Amino acid sequence: MEKETFLTVGKIARRKDGIAKVTGKEIYTSDVTLPGMLCARVLRSPYPHAKIVSVDTSEAEKMGAVTITYDEVPKVKYNERQVSIPEKTYRDRTVLPDRARHVGEGIVAVAAKSEVLAEKAMRAVKVEYEPLEPVMDPMEAMEPEAPKVYDEIMLGDIPLAVEKNIACYREVAEGDIAQGFSEADLIVEETFETGRVYHAQMETKSVVCQPEPDGGITLWPTTQSIHNTRQLIGRIFDIPLSKINVHRVPIGGSFGSSIQMNSPIAICVALALKARKPVKLSLTREEDMYDHCKYPSHIRIKYGVKKDGTITAGEMKTVVDIGGHNIQAYPLLGCMSGWFVSLYRMPHMSFEGTTVYTNKTPACAMQGYGNPQVSFAVESMMDIIAQKLNMDPIELRLKNYVGLGETFWGQGPTVRSVIRSCGVEEMLLKGKEKIDWDQRGNPEEKSGRFRRGIGVGRSFHTSGTGAPMPGEVIDYSTALVKVNEDGSVDFLTGLMCHGGGTLEACAKIVAEVMGVPLGMVGISPSNTRSTGYDVCTHATRGIYCGGASIKKAAESAKRILLDFASRLIDVNPDALQITPDEKLGQGVIFLEGAEGKSITVGEVAKTAQIKSWGTAIAVESHRQVNCPPCFVTNFIEVEVDTHTGIVRPTRAVAAVDCGTPINPDLAAGQLEGGLSRGISLALLEDTEYEPDTGQLTCGGSFVDYKVFTAEDMLPLENIETFFADTYEPSGPFGAKGVGEAANNCTAGTVANAIYNAIGLRLRKTPITPEKILDALKNEEKKDEGRNNDQL
């Protein structure tokens, strides 16, 4: 498809929220203050597994604190995540529990006039526990004699017994896997592991709740979905949705940790309803670390290939430790099967996924929702196979990748669509030149203390979860666009921005459609009463799905505006165009080639008001019927210190196929950010637990939980980013997503680079210096054994 020329889309502009953010004037949830507001604290379990025998809140109440316990909250079982359809939603949580299932789980909540008093009151609460034997290892949890984390949960509204701590299981197959392997000349099988990474978002989870005189409640939460939060609060507390209002508040990063309605929200609502006063609850960093983490994975993967590199069959079996609550495990397994199937063609495939309860922090989506875990295994395997076939790893990828015109699974077997735009080949070949791929050398040719290697990896993420046929995941957005009487334009949406510029991109879409200067487009404050439903800003859907609904609403508002204009200048509305005039600071409506047949947007809107014609305003709900893949390719060079095991990134090329980049500078920034976090995940990040106490060994702080900083990351001048030259026909102005795709393939790329440097394959992340030194020592012992055998 021939690309369009745009006036606003794809142009670099000052962010509308930029000044507020850089000057510290932006109002986040923790900044919200209301008259008479109480501060809340939560008493949390010191045990990974324990029954709550008794609770005594009398001393706290003597201090004037308001308290709530399990006995005082609704017993409705729910799942914090409200993206899946109800019959596919597993429910095991209540506002407060009668049994602690991980260290840090909230047991009793208190609210008082100050944080100091709330902390003092919380410490005065007495809880008697009956400690139960915890289960900390997912493999041990599935043993018949293992302690049970749950006896029964709910699947939708149906009670479901839990056997061997298995939260859910999913099996997907196509073709004949036995036949596929029988057709192969080479069968390769390996096992890979990834850790329980903490999201490390800048803002810990917070919420402010204000009870209303009519029995309703108003919320200012940390969330990725104001509408799902509203609906779940209504269900739990039996409050009509018309009496619940959830405000969209800027979010200080999320990385997926707030797809669900965070546990502090329901607790704070319960406190506020009992206190009949506004209440604020903000988690400390330690509490936040015990609240959520990334899904860890144990992946066994097997490929059958022909001598020419053609893949004949693929098999993946994964076990995922979900911790003490099931937030979204079933759709995770569907997605993992989709990530596996949609990277490389497999005529015959098999996937088995098992998620397991343990007494650890609950796991939830994080940047890719199982995709980095799968891509780490798959991209490592591509290099392993290429080595065994004596084939260039790039050639192997080019031979097998799923591309233009082919069907991919998106977020699982029920979310299938056809790829209409693809820059995979361009990114691999252009990136290869930029990184000097052909000069990288083989590991056996390298010696000395410091050894450099170059790795390649590729992956993708979907732009939303849409498909021609509705699947297991809800996916649509609603938007309102309104032309003001001075020619400016407002838009309202429940869509959240996590800091990457999603709403900024939507403003550009509105400006492009309406033909007004970007400065005349306002991003309106939104809440659940002023906006229609938006499912959630997740699955890299913000611009592709949310932006598409905004584009549709803008087009509808534009038709009304042009109809008004046609009455004033006596021209068929279908013949009229709008263009921004920077001198006038307005959009100008005109008939091309006809002098005198023009009028400003402001004149039309004001005249329509005076003549009582109405307002050029439109509301549209829109569901995309595709979820096109945003492809990403990484080339990373690392230097390995063979004396210390330290890995230092030295150069990188990061490429993305996002169709039309609406915000090119911010899209490049997402590539750089994804690269940095991906390297951090590959080399540093994990949460480990004391097996007996269930306590985090990192102490719940950034003192011991290490992430890549600017000091660790390679300099920006050593990072080159570029956009593949593609156009997505189903996206707004040809756009797809970027977000999560940016770090999906990075860990696999780093592992491949380390192998190219030292000739050793590391299969478990994080790849720490200790693991590298152990691998080097083991290799030395093998070499000594081989030498002795020869002697």
**Pair 325, 93: CB distance under 8 Å:** yes
The pLDDT assigned to 787 comes to 64
Angstrom distance (rounded) from CA 530 to CA 415:
31
Q: Which two tokens stand for residue 398?
A: 């080019």
Q: What are phi and psi of 28, to 5 degrees?
A: -95, 175
**Bridge partners of residue 194, in order along the sequence:** 297
Backbone angles phi, psi at 173, to 5 degrees: -150, 145
DSSP per residue, 555-614: HHHHHHHHHHHHHHHT--GGGEEEEEETTTTEEEEEETT-TT-EEEHHHHHHHHHHTT--
Supply 705's token pair: 């939980």
Q: What's 277's DSSP letter?
A: S
Look at residue 210 in the predicted model and tell me its pLDDT: 98
The answer to whether 741 touches 459, Cβ cutoff 8 Å, is yes
Q: What are phi and psi of 204, to 5 degrees?
A: -75, 165
Residues of the chain falling short of pLDDT 70? 1-3, 783-791
Q: CA 126, CA 62: separation in Å to the nearest integer?
A: 13
Dist. CA 44–CA 58, nearest whole Å: 18
Burial class (CB in 10 A: 0-12, 13-18, 19+), 147: middle
Q: Which pLDDT belongs to residue 460?
A: 96
* CA quadruple 158, 164, 167, 168: dihedral, nearest 10: -80
CB 748 within 8 A of CB 679: no
pLDDT tens digits for range 176-208: 999 999 999 999 999 999 999 999 999 999 999
Query: What is the predicted pLDDT for the residue at 708?
Result: 87
Q: Is 223 helix (H, G, I), strand (E, B) or coil?
A: coil
Give the pLDDT confidence score for residue 786 in this predicted structure. 63
Whether 721 contacts 652, CB under 8 Å: no
DSSP-derived secondary structure letter, 470: -
Distance CA 390, CA 732 (A): 43
Q: How far is the CA of 490 from the CAs of 485, 547, 739, in angstroms?
A: 11, 14, 25
In three-state secondary structure terms, 148 is: coil
CA distance 724 to 736: 12
- What is the Cα–Cα distance from 508 to 13, expressed in whole angstroms? 9
Edge-to-edge strand ranges of the sheet holding 297-305: 166-174, 348-357, 311-323, 297-305, 186-194
**C-alpha dihedral, 696 to 701 to 704 to 709, nearest 10°:** 130
Tokens in use for 111?
A: 């609210």
Residue ranges of E strands in 370-416: 407-408
Alpha helices in 199-289 (DSSP H): 226-237, 263-275, 285-289
Predicted TM-score (pTM) of this structure: 0.94
Residue 591 β-bridge partners: 576
Amino acid at 575: A
Cα separation values, 785 from 196, 643, 773, 776, 778, Å: 36, 22, 18, 14, 11
Q: How far is it, in rounded angstroms, from Cα 470 to Cα 416?
A: 10
**pLDDT of 384:** 98
3-class DSSP state of 248: coil
